[in-house]
Chains A and B, each alone.
Chain A
Amino acid sequence: MKAIYRRELNSYFNSMIGYVFIAVLVFLVGFYFWYVNLVNGYPYFSQTLASTQIIFMIAVPILTMKSMSEDRKGKTDQMLLTAPVSLTSIVLGKYLAMATVLLVPMLLFCLCPVIVALNGVAYFLVDYASILAFFLMGCVYISIGLFISALTESQVIAAVGTFAVILLLHLWNSFVELLPDFLKNLLSAFSFRDVISNFTQYQVFDVGGLFLYLSMAFIFVFLTIQTLQKRRWS
């Protein structure tokens, strides 16, 4: 797993993808931070994160589109799958490499509450808990992108598919409203936005929500492994 993790991480920083991903995130969040927190003097950095979560819709597909599809297209999957490593470690290596790329802007965001504190009162607990939730939300989206990338050979289809699913998840609450009652009750539990709103707007440390994020990420990584396994046997 270490070999694959290191190779993937290097490949993100040998190509533009890693830098573009980080730049897109830092630029948008930075812009909001400047406007909301610095210009208007609002003390909560969490509010900035709440307003910028939509950026995942653009940034995550950039990161995940090639994760599995490129191997299939370039036939490098033949090398990985015929090496003495398990499918689980192949997929986990790739997933953790992407999560690591996501971690870089998160670490930069950790500076923002400090900057707020230098200019007035900062609410560190709320802000850092929100950054954690923001990071885990990104991790869920990355696992979805990974799964979609495993379904296709085409990076474009993977990117568009991931964009569409994240868009749907972003509009989840309005979408669920349209459904009959029994479905509404069931599906509204899967609202990823509610979780991050609890952290950023209501200042609640939503343990159940974090559990939802972690279990969703687990499910999609698991489904990715199963997709690869199925392809070997079909």
Chain B
Amino acid sequence: MIVKESEDGNVIEVCGLTKRYGRHVAVDRLSFSVGKGQIYGFLGPNGAGKSTTMNIMTGFLGATEGDVLIDGVSISENPDGVKRRIGYLPEQPPLYTDMTVSEYLSFAAELKKLPKPERRTLIEEAMEMTGIESVKNRLIRNLSKGYKQRVGLAQALLGYPEILILDEPMVGLDPKQIIEMRALIRGLAEKHTIILSSHILSEVQELCDTILIINYGRMVATGTPAELEQELAGMPELVLTVRGDGKKAEKALVGIPGVVKVTPAPCREAGAAAFHMKSAPDTDIREGVFRCCVEKNLPILQMERAGMTLEDVFLRLTAAVEPDETVPADSGSGDESIWEVRTKGPEMPDTKEETE
């Protein structure tokens, strides 16, 4: 086995990975590297190529071009050596439903060639970590989706591989289990390098050190959650609802120093009006708005600051891209339709501040 120390301490290096199915390009020249002990998040809409990339990294699929190096060892040159160091939970947990949980895990341990004397202990530890001891003698076919997911994770964890690749690990879990799973993944990151994929943003945002946004098989952006938000922040925006006449209010608001643009927004409350207010970068107009409204006798019903959240970044980057366009990572400037999506979206980004 040839092992050459990776120059910058990266455990995983993916270089120019491409996967073509006939004319369809599932993954297009994807390159990234993951450092030891990192939680690396793949974010992208369904069909973006997340699972394909993971399948190539684990050796399930062969790449059309490019290579995956684990500690400098190529998966195509030494598949068995590399596969031993990776634990993989695919999108659909690979379970033999005619086996009981403990039978299945013993099979997985044998398949992974774990040393025989330690197998029992390793299996018990994996079951304890994922909280499936209570169902260990049940047939997998009779388990709920959440338990199946956990059995799949236990299988991936078995033998503590250095790298864990988890494809949508939270799917099918209830809110309590999601919190437990998050805690588990965070705990695992102390000793393992983890790559996880998701199309749910809050999950990735909360867990990952680095995020890679992928769409149509291409890397669209990469960075820490904070970096991504900052990079695409653009103009700060305020959403304001006041009681009173809309026209009069708009006139008053435009006059506030620092305000660039005021657009009326749909308002559900009778006798009130709502506005989107854009201000110059690095200016806080909230106090000015408050004073102006007091002066004009316009009671403020709601005021929230809508910074560009990661969700906006995600929607913007993934909504606008067509397969044959190259989109540089910093291509984000105001696009009304995307702002619409954001303001109507069911999940309110965490960074908003609300005042009643």
Using a CB–CB cutoff of 8 Å, the interface residues on chain A facing chain B are 2-4, 6-7, 10-11, 14-15, 74-86, 232-234
Give the residue of A75, A80, A234 whose beta carbon is less than 8 angstroms from that of B92.
A75
> Once the chains bind, are B90 and A78 in contact (CB under 8 Å)?
yes
Residues in A whose Cβ lies below 8 Å from that of B110: 2-3, 6
Mask: chain B, 93-118; 1 = CB below 8 Å from A; 0 = not: 11111110001000110111100000
Residues in B neighbouring A4, C-beta threshold 8 A: 111
Q: How far is the CA of A232 from the CA of B107 in the complex (A)?
A: 23
- Give the one of B21, B95, B111 with max A CB within 10 A: B111
Known: A75-B90, A78-B88, A232-B61. A83 touches B112 (CB 8 A): yes
**Stretch in B2-10, B35-43, B78-86 touching the partner:** B78-86
* Given contact pairs A74-B97, A86-B80, a sample of 19 additional A-B residue pairs in the complex whose CB atoms are under 8 Å apart: A2-B110, A3-B110, A7-B96, A7-B99, A11-B98, A14-B99, A76-B94, A77-B60, A78-B90, A79-B90, A79-B94, A79-B108, A79-B111, A82-B83, A83-B112, A84-B84, A84-B113, A232-B62, A234-B21
> Quick one: which of A80, A82, A232, A234 has the most chain B CB within 10 A?
A82
Instruction: Quote the shortest CB–CB distance from A139 to chain B (angstroms).
Output: 25
**CB atoms of A78 and B55 under 8 A apart:** yes
Within 8 A of A (CB), among B18-73: 21, 55, 58-62
Known contacts being A232-B60, A233-B62, is A75 close to B111, with CB within 8 Å?
A: no
The 5 closest A-B pairs by CB, nearest first: A79-B94, A3-B110, A233-B62, A82-B58, A84-B80
* In the assembled complex, B155 has its CB within 8 A of some CB on chain A: yes
Q: A residues within 8 A CB of B92? A: 75
Are B94 and A85 interface neighbours, CB within 8 A?
Answer: no
Determine the main DSSP class of B at the interface with A: loop
Contacts of A78 in B (CB 8 A): 55, 58, 60, 88, 90, 94
| Sample of 28 A–B contacts (CB below 8 Å) | A2-B110, A4-B111, A7-B99, A10-B103, A11-B99, A74-B95, A75-B92, A75-B93, A76-B94, A77-B94, A78-B88, A78-B90, A78-B94, A79-B88, A79-B90, A79-B94, A79-B111, A80-B94, A80-B111, A82-B58, A82-B59, A82-B88, A83-B83, A83-B111, A84-B112, A85-B111, A85-B113, A232-B60
A76 surroundings in chain B (CB, below 8 A): 94-96
Q: Given A2, A7, A84, which contacts B83 in the complex, CB threshold below 8 Å? A: A84
- Tell me the total A-B contact number using a CB cutoff of 8 A: 74
Check A11 against B96 for contact (C-beta < 8 Å).
yes
A6 and B96 CA atoms in complex are apart in Å by: 13
Which positions 256-311 of chain B face chain A at CB distance < 8 Å? Answer: none
Contact B98 A3 (CB under 8 A): no
Pairwise interchain contact A3-B95, C-beta atoms closer than 8 A: no
- In Å, the complex CA distance between A15 and B99 comes to 10
Of all chain A residues, the one with the shortest Cβ separation from B92 is: A75
Residue interface bits B224-264, CB-to-A below 8 A is 1, else 0: 00000000000000000000000000000000000000000
**A3–B60 CB distance below 8 A:** no
CB-CB under 8 A from B81, the residues of chain A are 84
C-alpha spacing A232/B97, complex, angstroms: 24
Q: A81 to B86, alpha carbons, bound, how many Å?
A: 12
Chain A residue contacts of B88, Cβ below 8 A: 78-79, 82
Question: Nearest chain-A residue to B83 (Cβ)?
Answer: A84
Chain B positions within 8 Å of A232 at CB level = 60-62
With a cutoff of 8 Å between Cβ atoms, the chain B residues found around residue A6 in the complex are 107, 110
B22 to A: closest C-beta gap in Å: 9
In the complex, A86→B113 CA distance in Å? 12
Query: Complex formed: what's the CA distance from A159 to B92 in Å?
Result: 26
**A6 to B107, alpha carbons, bound, how many Å?**
9
* Partner pick for B107 among A3, A15, A75, CB 8 A cutoff: A3
The answer to whether B98 touches A15, judged by C-beta atoms less than 8 angstroms apart, is yes
**Alpha-carbon distance A74/B107, docked complex (angstroms):** 16
Which one, B21, B86, B94, contacts A74 given CB within 8 A? B94
Using Cβ atoms and an 8 Å threshold, which residues of chain A touch B84? Answer: 84
